[in-house]
Structures are given as C-alpha cells and as structure tokens.
Amino acid sequence: MNVKQKPLIFILFFTLFMNTYPELLKEEIYFNADNTAKPIAKRFYQYDENNFIIKIIENYSETNDIIELKYTYDAEILRTVEEYHNGSRVKYSVFNYKNGIPENKTDYDNNEKVVLKRQFTFKTNQLSEISDFLPNGVYLGKRVFNYTSGILDSEYTENEIGYRMVHRVYTRANGLIVKVEMYIRDRLIRVIERKYEKHEIKENQFDLQNNFWDIR
C-alpha cells in the first residue's frame, strides 16, 4: 500500500531462497495506526489449481472503490498483470526475465504507451532493490529491502534525491510474515495484518508463491 490510502503488494526459481510452509496467503487487512479496530481496506488473494496467484482484489471501505489485479503466466513464469479500477482497465504490466530471474517490469496505459519502468536488483539471490524510472529514463526513487540472516525484516522507500519516505517493518510468527508496520520517519501510520490458510507451497522471501514478483 502506498501512503495515499492504497494498500501497498512478487517469482524466483532458485532453491537458495525458497521456503516451504504449509500456509497460503489469503487476506491482508489494512488499518490506520490510530484506529486498529476499523479496517480501511482489505486485500484478497485468489489462486488457480497450481496455487499460482491469478487475482488480487482490493476493497476500500472509505471510498467503496474496488481494484482488481489479474495475472497471467507463461508456464510457471509470471508474465503480465492487468489492473482494473471499479471494473475498468486502467493499465497493464509486462515482466521480463534474465536467466529465470525477474529483470524489469514495464507499465503501459490502455493506448500501449509506456508510463513507468521498474528495475529489479538481486544480491546473493535475494531481491535487494526495486527502482522506478519514467519512460525517458528519469529516476524516480526506489525501495530497498533489508535482511537479517537471510530473512526479510524491513524495507524503506526513498525518492529521487535519496530522501527516505516510508519505512516498513515485518513481524513474523512461525516463520511467516503476520504483520507489516509502516512508518513515515518515526511515526507509525499504517498496520497490515496477514491471514493464511493451510496449504503447502514454495514461497519467496515475501511469503508469496515463489513465482510471484508483483511486489506492491
């Protein structure tokens, strides 16, 4: 979810950073930090018979808006995502890979015009950064992911001049991410709770299906 009241949401085939857990992420619940009793949004995950994520539905309680993300795969590789707002498609994205690892993602509007380019950077087989660029190559900023003993525990977003905007802290239970806290500077602004259901799958470091790299 970004800071503009939208919930903030990846695919790798290397066993070095795959984990196997008997859980499948089914729902994320978003709260403002000052009122954790009333959700502001919910995100639901839908899967196919192979347990690949094929749709994510985001419901916003304050505006009644519904955002749908629909995913298509080429064999086991995540290839495209279409984004719909209240039933109307607003854009689609295409993932490109190098040696089985996601290299970049390009966003297009409905007129086939490129609107954003997103670059993935991996270090020691783990996603370390996601950088955003305008179609003309102008750098917009990036997300930086931090690990302790190979386990994702936090991340931060910085703008084009290196100013840190949003910091996220991940809380785990039984090896799974169960809560995400979002901060601006030291002020807690958002809390995200995760719900899972029993189902053994291969997962990436974000506790999503290991072939899903649409990190938002």
What pLDDT band is residue 9 in, cutting at 50, 70 and 90?
very low
pLDDT at 114 over 80: yes
Considering only residues 160 and 75, tell me which one the structure prediction assigns the higher pLDDT.
160
What pLDDT shows up at residue 190?
Answer: 96
Checking if the pLDDT of 202 tops 80, the result is no
Which one is predicted more confidently, 101 or 113?
A: 113
* Residue-level pLDDT at 203: 59
Asked if 166 and 183 count as a contact pair (C-beta separation under 8 A), the reply is yes
- Domain 15-203 - what CATH class? mainly beta
Check if the beta carbon of residue 69 is closer than 8 Å to that of residue 9. yes
Instruction: Please tell me the distance from the alpha carbon of residue 210 to that of residue 202, in angstroms, as a whole number.
Output: 6
Residue 212 binned pLDDT confidence (cut-offs 50, 70, 90)? low
10-62 pLDDT, tens digit each: 333 332 334 444 578 899 999 999 888 899 999 999 988 888 899 999 999 98
Average pLDDT over residues 133-148: 97
Q: Mean pLDDT over all residues of the chain?
A: 86
Q: Where are the domains of the chain?
A: 15-203
Find the angle CA(8)-CA(40)-CA(89) to the nearest 5 degrees. 55
- In order of 10, 164, 168, the CA distances from 103 in angstroms are 12, 24, 23
Strand intervals (E) in the chain: 19-32, 35-47, 53-60, 66-74, 77-85, 88-98, 101-108, 114-123, 126-133, 139-148, 151-159, 164-173, 176-184, 187-203
pLDDT of residue 64: 92
Strand partners, 96: 104
Percentage above 90 pLDDT, the chain:
67
User: What is the arithmetic mean of pLDDT over 188-192?
Assistant: 96
| Interatomic CA distance for residues 2 and 131, integer angstroms | 15
